[in-house]
Amino acid sequence: MLSGFELPRYDDYKESGVEWLGRIPAEWEVTRLKFSSRINPPPRIGVEDLLNDACFLPMEVVHSSGKVEYGIQKPIKEIKQGFTSFQRNDVIMAKITPCFENGKGAYLDSMPTKYGFGSTEFHVLRVRSGFNQKYIYYLTKTDLFMNLGESLMTGSAGQKRVQTEFVANFRFAFPVLAVQDGIVRFLDKKTTQIDEAIAIKEQQIALLKERKQIIIQKAVTQGLDPTVPMKDSGVDWIGEIPAHWEVKRLKYVTKIVKRIAGYEGPDVLSITQKGIKIKDIDSGEGQLAMDYSKYQVVEVGDFAMNHMDLLTGYVDISKYNGVVSPDYRVFIRTYDGLDDEFLLAIFQLGYQQKIFYRYGQGVSLLGRWRFPAENFNNFFVPIPPKEEQKLIFRRVKEEWDKVDKGIALLLSQIGKLKEYKTTLINSAVTGKIRITPDMVEA
DNA sequence: CGTAGTGAGTGTTAGCACGT
DNA sequence: ACGTGCTAACACTCACTACG
| Per-residue pLDDT tens digits for A20-32 | 889 999 999 999 9
A43 CA → B13 C1’, Å: 37
Residue A343, φ and ψ in degrees, nearest 5: -65, -40
Instruction: Give the mean pLDDT of A421-427.
Output: 94
Domain boundary among the residues A174, A199, A231 is at A174
Whether residue A56 sits in one domain with residue A163: yes
Range of the domain at A170: 29-174
Q: Which bases in strand C are touched by protein, i.e. have an atom under 7 Å from a CB?
A: 1-16
- Let me know: does A243 contact A231? Beta carbons within 8 Å: yes
Flag whether A239 is in a domain: no
A286 CA → B20 C1’, Å: 25
A234 CA → C9 C1’, Å: 44
Whether residue A252 sits in one domain with residue A167: no
CB A288 under 7 Å to nucleic chain B: yes
Closest nucleotide to the alpha carbon of A292, via C1': B17
**pTM, two decimal places:** 0.81
Instruction: Give the mean pLDDT of A26-54.
Output: 83
Domain boundary among the residues A154, A174, A194 is at A174
Flag whether A64 is in a domain: yes
Whether residue A33 sits in one domain with residue A170: yes
Residue A40's contacts (CB-CB under 8 Å, 6 or more residues apart) are: A84, A123, A124, A164
User: How much is the pLDDT for A4?
Assistant: 44
Whether residue A142 sits in one domain with residue A253: no
In tens, the pLDDT along A258-301 reads 888 877 778 888 888 888 888 876 665 656 777 788 888 888 99
Flag whether A416 is in a domain: no
CB A284 under 7 Å to nucleic chain B: no
A81 CA → B3 C1’, Å: 10
Whether residue A157 sits in one domain with residue A42: yes
Q: How confident is the prediction for chain A on average, in pLDDT?
A: 86
A327 CA → C3 C1’, Å: 13
Residue (of A260, A371, A387) closest to A323 by Cα position: A260
Q: What's the rounded Cα separation, in Å, for the pair A96 and A62?
A: 13
> Taking the C1' atom of B17, which residue's CA lies nearest?
A289
> Does A427 score more than 80 pLDDT?
yes
Flag whether A79 is in a domain: yes
User: How much is the pLDDT for A284?
Assistant: 59
Flag whether A332 is in a domain: yes
The enclosing domain of A338 has a CATH number of 3.90.220.20
Closest nucleotide to the alpha carbon of A271, via C1': B15
User: How much is the pLDDT for A423?
Assistant: 93
CB A42 under 7 Å to nucleic chain C: no
> Does A108 score more than 50 pLDDT?
yes
Instruction: Give the mean pLDDT of A316-323.
Output: 89
| Domains held by chain A: number | 2
Closest nucleotide to the alpha carbon of A96, via C1': C12
Whether residue A275 sits in one domain with residue A148: no
A201 CA → B13 C1’, Å: 28
How far does CA A247 lie from the centroid of its chain? 39
User: How much is the pLDDT for A289?
Assistant: 74
Bridge partners, residue A29, by sequence:
A174
CB A78 under 7 Å to nucleic chain C: no
Whether residue A252 sits in one domain with residue A153: no
Flag whether A82 is in a domain: yes
CB A370 under 7 Å to nucleic chain C: yes
Choice among A285-294, A324-333, A430-439 with the minimum mean pLDDT: A285-294
User: How much is the pLDDT for A51?
Assistant: 75
Flag whether A401 is in a domain: no
In tens, the pLDDT along A143-155 reads 999 988 888 888 7
Q: What's the rounded Cα separation, in Å, for the pair A212 and A218?
A: 10
Domain boundary among the residues A383, A412, A433 is at A383
User: Which whole-number Å values give the CA distances from A283 to A251, A286, A296, A439, in the listed order?
Assistant: 39, 9, 22, 57
- Let me know: does A429 contact A170? Beta carbons within 8 Å: no
Q: At what angle do helices A177-222 and A340-352 cross, to 10 degrees?
A: 130
CB A121 under 7 Å to nucleic chain C: yes
Flag whether A211 is in a domain: no
CB A164 under 7 Å to nucleic chain B: yes
